[in-house]
Structure 1
């Protein structure tokens, strides 16, 4: 029987830590950045480590707590949680930066928990946004491992961008949107126009306290004892090698794609609570021919403008293809979709307003292509399912991911890019949607090849090799 301990830190009366005692000597502290796109792959990593006999404590917010419950049920004595109220965020014109910096308020509570633990962790595995935990690990006398929920290319660009941002900012002092930023030290020498860069970096101000603090925490990632990537060598081997050269050692492990077993505890957590009965959705797919449906989803944060939504719906009507469209219930442009539903959906589509069982959809034989915003989790899910992707990147690391997918790997085609002011041509988009299902495209063959490579990597190849090596090395700590 496992013992359950609860205690309250003096920092906040509402901040409660839950701790389970374990006799396992290899104990890791896992700290994902809050939010589905970061927490879910982190918990997938936790699942693999738990299966290999490690003890894991996860720092998690109350909002993300439902995501960890299935894993807690499967590993009640080796998975523990530190539950906290989200730190206070001060008002800022850069809310993401302010949110990330606010997590540093947990430094002292984590130290107190660590010192009171009968068998404290030997390392902290933390999200790439939480570079300040390198100093936390040093203070505690343990190792810090960075976990990247972005790919190795996106991570390389992100680090180089923030490292060189003061100089880049001076070069483009006029903030020319079409000013190109090049990264010659990164393999394939990627370059992007200014407007492709993350908004926070475009607003960088030399000497600004928040910007400088954020830059410091990002650069601290390169002081990590090691880095774990949710990718695989067959997808990003050249960029993994680049990171190893940057780090000056080989403690860089590519262990992805981190996806749940079909009947494993994390499958339901990753799918979330579907906005429609999954049985109804899968029955609708069962009625469609092989490779006859386009799945459309822009992730948990990206939204279409009204003009973009109208263009997409116009292209769907013009192409007359079958589709599943997952749209956020709170998205104002979904009101436009409502006007099309009676006519168009009855003939050719299925609309999900809210969370959709994405993995189950992508794996279904009827789904032949995927219109995506190119978030890294979505890229990996599309590759694992062997589904050709139509790229519509909008921000963050999505432009880098689209470059990798379309230009370097040839596993997809770009249909549009950017924010609400850029609207695709209706006729061209309709053609690309049709072609993605009906054409004998090299992109379809390439993504099937990558899918086979991904499955081999996690079952008997490089990813399971790297995961086992990582477990061996942290166990020796």
Structure 2
């Protein structure tokens, strides 16, 4: 166990526990930045040794934050040295199981600490921390890296435990009857973790226990804002009977922290300055940005069809793709599109790219972080949801907010390059409706986090709760 501690005056103490996956880790780091910037708290951030570098921007901005470093629990399904889900595709289930073994080391740390935390803020994939908090007589607050709509579907699944009538029919529809608007999804679009539980795979009951443990959480923090998801926030608060739901988003690094965002997720084959320089030469809103997040890996066929669609479309584009996919780009593709396309291998500084005036459209997998970053940038979207909460997010974007159009659905779907080329071309030339609504939504998002805005008020209420806890 490694503990870094900074001498501070006695303040209410909060322990932050993330889940080690990029889509989960980045927003909870942004939340911790916001908590630290407000002041009034002693903050300890838990991490494992190999995930510690991800904290560098946060700790540079806020040296007062303490770190608690514990070894990653060993697990026969996780190769030695792997501590982040991005390094082990389809690893969420085994990661969730392994991290439950941190209960005893954390309990020991609490009991030996001279001034232990009075509350725990932890990721929704760490439901076991609710039991830990109960044993310690303190409060556990769930942090959701998903939106209120996505979190509502998760709560529905694990509390109601619906089952398909025909397990062989992946297109059978499940109705989320208690959620606003009664959304419906085919079973193949339902949470893969929940479907894993239904199939009776090993550790199925463990998954159920892990998620149902979230239900008695003292409060819920959601990276969203009222104007974006009011109906679903109301559902979480009223129908679930928890009146402590804080929509504090969009969580976003401030100017003092922004310099760290270029490396928050990893290294890149192209420097941020070079990307910005390339974009500076383009006209407003003429560039399509293409990125599918940290987990999704395109197949050879998907990569080739996407490359062909980009080439045929004639649009300017920035394409961020995993290094593992770079060898399946069609031969000569980069040379043929050199005048209008930029390929980034590994990590892209997405916040900076989306916020550039030249970027007008985002082809996305609909991860919640990417969705919010596009909303803050006022960028219209093309959706290709692949898993997790992404189908729910796509439904919100396309059917309710109308700031996006679907181009493909599913991890195994292969788009037609001609049709994709048509949609890409139209997205930068004929998307006035989606673009107008995206700009309007951007104003709502920025207003929410301003002084007096909905998220600003809610965050102050959260801080009042955290700083008023008895010492």
Deviation at 1:283, TM superposition (A): 0.9
Q: Distance in 2 between matches of 1:210 and 1:395?
A: 20
Is 292-301 or 19-28 further displaced after alignment? 19-28
2:24 to 28, 38, 61: 38
CA offsets per residue over residues 391-436 of structure 1, 9 Å max, x none? 000001100000000011101000001022x222222211111111
CA offsets per residue over residues 65-123 of structure 1, 9 Å max, x none? 1121222223223x011112211123399842222021111111111111222221110
| Structure 2 counterparts to residues 182-197 of structure 1, below 5 A | 182-197=175-190
3-state SS of paired residue (2:16): strand
CA offsets per residue over residues 370-401 of structure 1, 9 Å max, x none? 00000000000010100000000000110000
Is 145-154 or 155-164 further displaced after alignment? 155-164
Q: Does 1:380 align with 2:372?
A: yes
Q: Which residue is equivalent to 2:211?
A: 218
Going from structure 1 to structure 2, the CA distance change for 1:205 and 1:238 (only over 3 Å counts) comes to closer
Q: Distance in 2 between matches of 1:94 and 1:382?
A: 26
Contact map agreement 2:262 2:348 (CA 8 A) in 1: no
Q: Distance in 1 between matches of 2:436 and 2:379?
A: 10
Q: Does 1:415 align with 2:407?
A: yes
Q: Does 1:51 align with 2:37?
A: yes
CA offsets per residue over residues 279-308 of structure 1, 9 Å max, x none? 111111111111111000000110212221
Q: Does 1:469 align with 2:461?
A: yes
Q: Give 5+ residue unaligned stretches, structure 2.
A: 79-88
Q: Distance in 1 between matches of 2:408 and 2:202?
A: 36
CA RMSD of aligned residues (A): 1.9
Q: Which residue is equivalent to 1:19?
A: 5
CA offsets per residue over residues 31-87 of structure 1, 9 Å max, x none? 01012211111111111111121111011122221121222223223x011112211
2:113 to 93, 114, 117: 117
Q: Does 1:198 align with 2:191?
A: yes
Going from structure 1 to structure 2, the CA distance change for 1:94 and 1:450 (only over 3 Å counts) comes to closer
Contact map agreement 1:68 1:269 (CA 8 A) in 2: no
3-state SS of paired residue (2:323): coil
Q: Distance in 2 between matches of 1:340 and 1:154?
A: 41
3-state SS of paired residue (1:314): helix
Q: Which residue is equivalent to 1:168?
A: 163
Going from structure 1 to structure 2, the CA distance change for 1:23 and 1:175 (only over 3 Å counts) comes to farther
Q: Distance in 2 between matches of 1:105 and 1:364?
A: 43
Deviation at 1:195, TM superposition (A): 1.0
Q: Distance in 2 between matches of 1:377 and 1:424?
A: 24
Q: Which residue is equivalent to 1:86?
A: 72
| Structure 2 counterparts to residues 386-401 of structure 1, below 5 A | 386-401=378-393
Contact map agreement 2:148 2:229 (CA 8 A) in 1: yes
Deviation at 1:312, TM superposition (A): 1.3
Q: Which residue is equivalent to 1:12?
A: none
Is 335-344 or 81-90 further displaced after alignment? 335-344
1:438 to 429, 441, 449: 429
Q: In the comparison of the two structures, how many residue pairs are matched? A: 456
Contact map agreement 2:61 2:256 (CA 8 A) in 1: no
Q: Distance in 2 between matches of 1:269 and 1:347?
A: 27
Deviation at 1:220, TM superposition (A): 1.8
Q: Does 1:369 align with 2:355?
A: no
Q: Distance in 2 between matches of 1:223 and 1:269?
A: 36
Q: Which residue is equivalent to 1:67?
A: 54
Deviation at 1:140, TM superposition (A): 0.7
3-state SS of paired residue (1:222): coil
Q: Distance in 2 between matches of 1:206 and 1:364?
A: 45
Q: Does 1:404 align with 2:396?
A: yes
Deviation at 1:206, TM superposition (A): 7.5
Q: Which residue is equivalent to 1:447?
A: 438
Is 316-325 or 273-282 further displaced after alignment? 273-282
Q: Does 1:181 align with 2:174?
A: yes
Q: TM-score, normalised by structure 2?
A: 0.93
Deviation at 1:339, TM superposition (A): 1.5
Deviation at 1:269, TM superposition (A): 4.7
1:458 to 437, 449, 455: 449
3-state SS of paired residue (2:337): helix
Q: Give 5+ residue unaligned stretches, structure 1.
A: 1-7, 9-15
Q: Does 1:347 align with 2:343?
A: no
3-state SS of paired residue (2:252): coil
Contact map agreement 1:369 1:437 (CA 8 A) in 2: yes
3-state SS of paired residue (1:89): coil
Contact map agreement 1:163 1:215 (CA 8 A) in 2: no
3-state SS of paired residue (1:323): strand
